[in-house]
Amino acid sequence: MALLEILVYPDKRLRERAKPVEVFDDELKQLVKDMAETMYDAPGIGLAAIQVDVPKRVIVMDLSEERNDLKVFINPEIEAIEGKQEYEEGCLSVPGVFATVERIERVRIKALNVEGEPFEIEADGLLSVCIQHEVDHLDGKVFVDYLSRLKQDRVRKKMLKEIKESQAA
Amino acid sequence: MAKPNLQLVAAHTLRDVIDQGRSLDRTLESEAQRLGAEQRPSLHEIAYGGLRFYSYFDGLLAQLIAKPIRRKDRMVHFLLIVGLYQLKHMRTPDHAAVNQTVKALAASKQSWAKGLVNGVLRQFLREMEKDNLASLDAHLTAAQRIAFPTFFYGCIRDAWLEESEKIFESSNQKPPLTLRVNQQKTTRADYLKLLAAKNIDALPTEESKLGVLVTQPRPVTELPMFSEGWVSVQDESAQLCAPLLALEHGMRVLDGCAAPGGKTCAMLEAEPSLKMTAVDLPERVLGIEQNLNRLGLEAEIRDMGLEEYSDWWDKHPWDRILMDVPCSGSGVIRRHPDIRHRRQPGDLERFAGQQFDLLETAWGLLADNGLLLYVTCSLFPQENDGVIERFLSNHSDAKFLPVASAGGISTRYGRQRLPGVHAGDGFYYSLLSKAGAA
């Protein structure tokens, strides 16, 4: 068990496109465990492997208040069903920044579990927002990309300043 | 994705209402966007409860904190209020409430206050354990103990000294869910049977003949035949308005401050042949239409203030007018916990002036021998008998009639229901009749 380091925006490694998982072995299970632990500690409700510098298509999520409902999505694919929704998102790779992003309201998710078995679910509300946010990560996208140029610049400067300060300290 | 922080959003909500005087409903609407659907019921509970008991916790905090929190660090103050509310009134486990509040500090970049918040919340837990807060309570003012701001506390005691304790107490309770049965679709007895069949505990209301009190409040979507229009949500005191107007077949009726249309619909359910006109401001009329549609009723809706009647009035006077005028809301504090914090000295005079003007406008639209029912959800005589007294002395063609069937306390010109003393919200009713041409 280990806490993994979360990459902080605008780290270039967050821009990488993650590769599908092909081998379902103990190493993958360990990665999922460590990612879950890292997410709970943050605290977050979702984490993509790319955020801990592992460019694989692996996502962990837990939306429950009790933090006892871990969901794992490997090689996920999202299909839009209907609608639009707005939600104020925050990201473990962009600490302290929250901004409203428009997403699809209802989606269908096809993915594999940690054993490599396929499953399919439909999602709306926060679950839908979160899975879209995490799948974006796998494609090298961060929620900040949806904001205006001006806001993106402001976020970038703010994060760089904080990284500098924490290194100085 | 980062976990949306419930405590932080709740603290923002409290700050917007307390420090910025915003309305709770509007604040909640925007703040709820920041949370997942799963967290919204908790936000609602903390925001309502936190405001209901704000003055009490504010008084406790002053004792638990050695040095007052600086103005620029007000978020720490509101996070503490959220933490205290969760510890005292919610089933949040102690350690979870403390940890979540401390985490919220980090999310709002106030980590410097971790020690302070930890210390205050743990001290509070010790005091609860020791004597259920009795030794802290002993140092509070009477207003703080009952969780009222000093100004509003004074207003209520000035108006109703003897009844004030009961009023305060009921104002701190969660409001009941009261329904009005649609007499065009069913009867109260039949609807009570329907509820019993669904294992929903309910009782008939005492004063209103159409009221049903649901013992355990629940979303209306869980009520049988709600979307079919068999029942509407309406407080018992509000239900007492329509029967006072002696409505008859085909009468022309004006509801001059109609939104959200509860009383408009109640009048139409009592007498569907009425020619009803419902007036209110553009931003408020949407609710009237929704209510009418669900109940299958019809009314002409005018989306402007009553004072602009000359734009559309066809010069046909109305036989009956209901004026449920904007007021301080002091009778519905339990439903709107922000009211006690938002009212300022001078508000009552301002409301009374507006109420008088609206009443004068409406009077000009009333037919000879017609009836006008003046209603407020206020407890203050300035907005009630005071307005009527001034009106009567200015209008020789107006005379007040006894309000026969609303229960409550008889006042000089009408009747007053008081929360905690009588069932339902605090309401005032005065019935005026217009003399015929000589």
B218-261 pLDDT, tens digit per residue, is: 999 999 999 999 999 999 999 999 999 999 999 999 999 999 99
DSSP string, B41-82: HHHHHHHHHHHHTHHHHHHHHHHH-SSPPPGGGHHHHHHHHH
Sorting pLDDT into bands at 50, 70 and 90, what band is B404?
confident
**Strand stretches in B282-344, DSSP E:** 300-303, 318-324
**Do the Cβ atoms of B229 and B295 come closer than 8 Å?**
yes
Please write the tens of the pLDDT for every residue from B258-297. 999 999 999 999 999 999 999 999 988 889 999 999 999 9
Can you tell me the mean pLDDT for B91-99?
86
**If 0-12 CB within 10 Å is exposed, 13-18 middle and 19+ buried, where does residue A11 land?**
middle
Give residue B54's pLDDT. Answer: 98
**Do the Cβ atoms of A50 and A76 come closer than 8 Å?**
no
- Cα dist. B136→B57, B397, B403 in Å? 11, 58, 46
B107 has a chain A CB within 8 A of its CB = yes
Kindly report which listed range (A63-72, B189-198, B362-371) carries the lowest average pLDDT score. A63-72
Judge: B3–A133 Cβ closer than 8 Å, yes or no. no
Please write the tens of the pLDDT for every residue from A89-112. 899 999 878 888 999 999 999 999
A contact residues 150-169, partner B, Cβ 8 Å cutoff = none
Share of chain A above pLDDT 90, in %: 75
CATH class of segment(s) B6-147: mainly alpha
- Tokens linked to A36: 């879950």
A1 has pLDDT over 80: no
Question: How far apart, in whole angstroms, are the C-alpha atoms of residue B326 and residue B342?
Answer: 15
C-alpha distance from B33 to closest chain A C-alpha (Å): 6
B438 has pLDDT over 60: no
B95 has pLDDT over 80: yes
Question: How far apart, in whole angstroms, are the C-alpha atoms of residue A95 and residue A104?
Answer: 24
Residue B377 is a catalytic residue: yes
C-alpha distance from A92 to closest chain B C-alpha (Å): 5
B38 has pLDDT over 80: no
DSSP string, B241-273: HHHHT---TT-EEEETT-TT-HHHHHHHHH-TT
A44 has a chain B CB within 8 A of its CB = yes
Q: CB neighbours (10 Å) of residue A82?
A: 9
Give residue B42's pLDDT. Answer: 92
Sorting pLDDT into bands at 50, 70 and 90, what band is B92?
confident
Judge: A65–B3 Cβ closer than 8 Å, yes or no. no
Q: Pick the residue of A64, A87, A141, A144 with the most B CBs within 10 A to test the interface with B by mutation.
A: A87
Can you tell me the mean pLDDT for B2-30?
91
What are the chain B neighbours of A155 within 8 Å (beta carbons)?
none
B228-237 b/e (C-beta count within 10 Å ≥ 16 → b): ebbbbbbbbb
Judge: A95–B2 Cβ closer than 8 Å, yes or no. yes
Sorting pLDDT into bands at 50, 70 and 90, what band is B397?
very high
**Do the Cβ atoms of B384 and B411 come closer than 8 Å?**
yes
B33 has a chain A CB within 8 A of its CB = yes
Judge: B1–A134 Cβ closer than 8 Å, yes or no. yes
Question: How far apart, in whole angstroms, are the C-alpha atoms of residue B143 and residue B139?
Answer: 12
Instruction: Kindly tell me the number of DSSP H helices and DSSP E strands found in chain A.
Output: 3, 5
- What separation, in Å, do the N-terminal and C-terminal C-alpha atoms of chain B show? 77
Judge: A42–B36 Cβ closer than 8 Å, yes or no. no
Please write the tens of the pLDDT for every residue from B121-165. 999 999 999 999 999 999 999 999 999 999 999 999 999 999 999
Give residue B104's pLDDT. Answer: 84
**Do the Cβ atoms of B437 and B368 come closer than 8 Å?**
yes
Judge: B1–A46 Cβ closer than 8 Å, yes or no. yes
What are the chain A neighbours of B33 within 8 Å (beta carbons)?
86-88, 100
Is it true that domain B237-434 has CATH number 3.40.50.150? yes
Give residue B437's pLDDT. Answer: 64
A43 has a chain B CB within 8 A of its CB = yes
- Tokens linked to B137: 């309570």
From the list A4, A1, A6, A10, the residue with the least C-alpha distance to A159 is: A10
ipTM of the complex: 0.82
Architecture of domain B177-234: 2-Layer Sandwich (3.30)
A96 has a chain B CB within 8 A of its CB = yes
Q: Virtual CA dihedral for B226, B230, B236, B237, nearest 10 degrees? A: 110
Can you tell me the mean pLDDT for A31-39?
96
Name beta bridge partners: B300.
B277
B315: left (phi over 0), alpha (psi -120 to 50) or beta: left
Give residue A98's pLDDT. Answer: 81
Question: How far apart, in whole angstroms, are the C-alpha atoms of residue B151 and residue B142?
Answer: 12
Judge: B3–A43 Cβ closer than 8 Å, yes or no. yes
Give residue B378's pLDDT. Answer: 98
Please write the tens of the pLDDT for every residue from A56-68. 999 999 987 777 8
Question: How far apart, in whole angstroms, are the C-alpha atoms of residue B275 and residue B267?
Answer: 11
Can you tell me the mean pLDDT for B14-40?
87
Please write the tens of the pLDDT for every residue from A110-165. 999 999 999 999 998 889 999 999 999 999 999 999 999 999 999 999 899 888 88
Give residue A18's pLDDT. Answer: 97
Number of inter-chain CB pairs under 8 A, A vs B: 52
Chain length of chain B: 438
Sorting pLDDT into bands at 50, 70 and 90, what band is B405?
confident
How high is the mean pLDDT of chain B?
94
- Tokens linked to B42: 């908790």
Please write the tens of the pLDDT for every residue from B39-74. 889 999 999 999 999 999 999 999 999 888 998 899
Domain spans of chain B, in order of start: 6-147, 177-234, 237-434
Can you tell me the mean pLDDT for B96-108?
82
